[in-house]
Structure 1
Amino acid sequence: MNEDKNPQVPNGQNDHLEDFDQRLQRARDLNAGLDQNSKATGADEGKGAAMRIGTELVVAIAVGGGIGFFIDSWLGTKPWFLIGFLFIGNAAGLWNVFRLTKGQSYKVGFDRDKQSEANKTK
């Protein structure tokens, strides 16, 4: 029952472990460099947010217009449903933009975590 916490490793295996440690350290160093290079700057985050906001608005209006167009074609009531659904699509797009800018589109509790992180850095 008298076991060593650091058992003796045969000579050939010790070289193999040292080689593994060196390769592991190189991989960690490389990974750390990639993480530093991949961090988005404030300008990149702003561009991403602007693209998402623009996309949300345009897609909502296009979907509303498409629904209105097809209902008008089906019922023969041109252009009333098209006009109505364009307004509905516009309202939905603006609502989505409002939610995005206020951070309400995140999962439950994410905004709270984001605020606590901001308070920790101050």
Structure 2
Amino acid sequence: MNRENYPQSKEDFDTRLHRAQENNDAPGRVGKPGSSQSGKGLAFRIGTELVVTVFVGGMIGFLLDTWLNTKPWLTILFLFLGNAAGLLKIFRLTSNQNYTVGFLQKKRRPENSDK
């Protein structure tokens, strides 16, 4: 880009910034501010997370059952564990929590705040 395409004044920049913030806060927008997830994308991800975690849990249970000859108890147990893991992932996804250590993160005080 050349210099001629840049806004000439602070007011031009402020109007473009305000317009971009309004577009970011559109009513159909889902997810964290600034994320590009649409409603359909979020629904597809939720469905995929739940199906995959239950499937993986079931496969682990089935393989352990086959190896230890305890059919069907470990399959049932790991299906429930997979379901619980999927629901936890969905909860964290929809409540905008990350996967850092500790379930709920405390809000940090600014470093320069007065005590």
TM-score by length of 2: 0.55
Q: Which residue of 1 aligns with 2:91?
A: 98
**Structure with higher helix content:** 1
How far residue 55 of structure 1 moved from its aligned partner, in angstroms, is 0.5
Report 1:1-122 matches (<5 A).
42=28, 45-105=38-98
Quote how far apart the aligned CAs of 1:106 are: 7.0
Q: Distance in 2 between matches of 1:105 and 1:55?
A: 18
Could you tell me how far 1:105 is from its partner in structure 2? Answer: 3.1
Greater than 6 Å deviation, 4+ residue runs: none
Structure 1: stretches of 5+ with no match in the other structure: 1-20, 26-38, 113-122
What is the distance in 2 between the residues matched to 1:84 and 1:73? 14
Question: Structure 2: which 5+ residue stretches go unaligned?
Answer: 6-22, 30-36, 101-106, 108-115
CA root-mean-square deviation: 3.0
**How high is the sequence identity, in percent, across the aligned residues?**
59
Larger Rg: 1
TM-score (norm. length: structure 1): 0.52
